[in-house]
Structures are given as structure tokens and as C-alpha cells.
Amino acid sequence: MSDYKYGIRYKFSGSIGKLEDWMDDNIKGGYTYDLTDMHTGDTPFGQLEVMFHFEHGADRERFKKQAASNPEW
């Protein structure tokens, strides 16, 4: 559990490393994340479910905007 109050749950199939790189380059405040689940399905890599916590609400909104644009993480 994080002390940061702005959270979002996100599911994706991709590289957590690429996502971390984007976060390091674009998130202004602190953040944490926890792997909450891993789903298997039709994709060869499955899908990760991650809970992100942000220090600033603006960073959560920035993340949501990027996630909605279908990034190649």
C-alpha cells in the first residue's frame, strides 16, 4: 500500500521496462506500483494488471492520457 493518494488500476500486454522508462521521463512527482494480477489468454505474453499510485493528480491524468493513446509499452 502506498502513501500516494492518486491511484489507477491498469491492464496491459507489454514490457514493464518500457512503461517504467516512460514513467521516469514523464512523471514529475513520486510514484509506486504493485503487480495485482497476471491474466493468461490469447496473447503469448498474457496481460499484467498493475495498481499505480501517484504523488500528484496531474501525473495520474498524464498517465491516463498516454495509456488511452494505445502506447507500445
The answer to whether residue 1 is domain-embedded is: no
Q: What pTM does this model have?
A: 0.81
Please measure the distance between the N-terminal and C-terminal CA atoms of the chain and give it in whole angstroms.
Answer: 24
Q: Residue 13 has what pLDDT?
A: 82
Cα(42)–Cα(60) distance, rounded to whole angstroms?
29
Main-chain phi, psi angles of 8, to 5 degrees? -155, 140
Structural domain tally of the chain? 1
Q: Residue 4 has what pLDDT?
A: 96
Parent domain of 56: 8-68
Question: Over its length of 73 residues, how does the chain's per-residue pLDDT go in tens digits?
Answer: 689 999 999 988 878 888 999 999 999 999 999 988 776 666 556 788 899 999 999 999 999 999 999 777 6
The answer to whether residue 3 is domain-embedded is: no
